[in-house]
């Protein structure tokens, strides 16, 4: 009995406040299988590959200023820089990078959907 292959798994990474949860929630409404990857909290640079193994990796960029404002974080710049260091391998290997600094959630979703439509 032939079964239809599972839809690709989309992993989403980025620093705190970049919009990962918002994008995932929106993509799931379009029927995409998504996984939030908390790579920014892991010292293991390849955690995103080892644990989640996404078919497509989306990286969301977000500045220190926007991260702290969006999440009401009591951070210093070094905290954000550490997250970026932990995310470096995922960013280098991302299939799509979206700069969320100047986009609203709808704009981030539109970029992700356009990419996914062209890719799948």
How many Å apart are CA 100 and CA 84, to the nearest integer? 15
Return the domain boundaries, the chain. 30-53+61-119
* pLDDT score at 49: 83
* pLDDT score at 23: 98
Contact 66, 19 (CB under 8 A): no
How many Å apart are CA 103 and CA 118, to the nearest integer? 21
Read off the pTM. Answer: 0.90
Q: What is the pLDDT of residues 28-40, one digit of tens each?
A: 999 999 999 988 8
* pLDDT score at 4: 53
Residue numbers of the chain with a pLDDT score lower than 50: 1
How many Å apart are CA 34 and CA 47, to the nearest integer? 16
* pLDDT score at 31: 94
């Amino acid at each position: 009995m032939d079964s239809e292959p599972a839809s690709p798994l989309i992993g989403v990474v980025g620093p705190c406040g970049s919009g990962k949860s918002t994008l995932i929630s929106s993509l799931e409404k379009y029927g995409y299988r998504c996984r939030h990857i908390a790579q920014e909290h892991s010292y293991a640079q390849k955690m995103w590959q080892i644990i989640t193994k996404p078919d497509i990796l989306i990286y969301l960029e977000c500045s220190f200023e926007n991260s702290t404002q969006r999440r009401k974080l009591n951070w210093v710049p070094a905290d954000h820089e550490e997250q970026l260091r932990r995310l470096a391998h995922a960013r280098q290997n991302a299939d799509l990078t979206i700069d969320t600094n100047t986009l609203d959630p709808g704009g981030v979703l539109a970029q992700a959907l356009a990419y996914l439509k062209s890719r799948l």
